[in-house]
Amino acid sequence: MKRTLLLALVLLSLSAGAQRKKVYNTPHYDLDILHFGFTVGLNSMDFDVYHNASIVGYDSIYAVNAVRQAGFNLGIVSNLRLAPYLDLRFLPGITFGQRNMEYLVRGQSGNFYYKTMKIESTFLEFPFLLKYKAKRINNYRPYLLAGLNYRMDLAAYREIKEELKPLIMLERNDLYYELGFGVDYYLPYFKFSTEIKYAVGLNNVIIPDGTQFSGAIEKLVSNLVLISFHFE
């Protein structure tokens, strides 16, 4: 009998706890038509390299590979509520990063060695994204997002120092499509979000300059993985 009473008391306490509604932080937040914030984050930049079959193997270049490097990004958040579950977001910002190009080169003696080019980029970016939100569960809300991002590489046309030559040149302007997902966390005084996003460039960004290093590449497409933290 004592065990039965004890079990009944435990079940009643669990039932009461389950029925107790969790306190909502900022319950009317999602009713605002427009709100703002800022974002900080990390990124990993890379290239998709398409080799020029008629060049690779000649003129000492045998292979080209891109190596991801880490960077960081800063931006401003502007969010327009279109519908209960759909927002339009504009997040202008700046992204700093680097990609390394590794060339497998055959020297005059016949030995092979790797030559690494460090290609730095500073992007001004102007993304427009649609954010589709799931139903809010207590103080968090998952979401998906997709859209387009125009990026301008401020480092693309800068003068190359003599000690850094040869170095391939890149187009300054590119348009990316972006896909991602994240989670909104409703805190007592603001909303905090974690987000991961994948961005792929739509254009060939390499500029042929007549050297073997650009001639070995038929097409070069930029892509990024971004992890962002939004404060809104």
Whole-structure pTM value? 0.81
Mean pLDDT by 10 residues, the chain (232 residues): 45 46 80 95 94 66 86 96 96 95 78 83 96 94 97 80 67 96 94 96 89 84 96 96
CATH class of the 46-231 domain in this structure: mainly beta
Number of residues that this document lists for the chain: 232
Tell me the pairing of strands 86-90 and 34-51.
unpaired
- Whole-angstrom Cα distance, residue 152 to residue 122? 8
73 neighbors 93 (Cβ within 8 angstroms)? yes
Q: What is the pLDDT of residue 26?
A: 85
Q: Residue type for 211, please?
A: T
- Whole-angstrom Cα distance, residue 128 to residue 149? 6
- Whole-angstrom Cα distance, residue 43 to residue 46? 10
Q: What is the pLDDT of residue 7?
A: 44
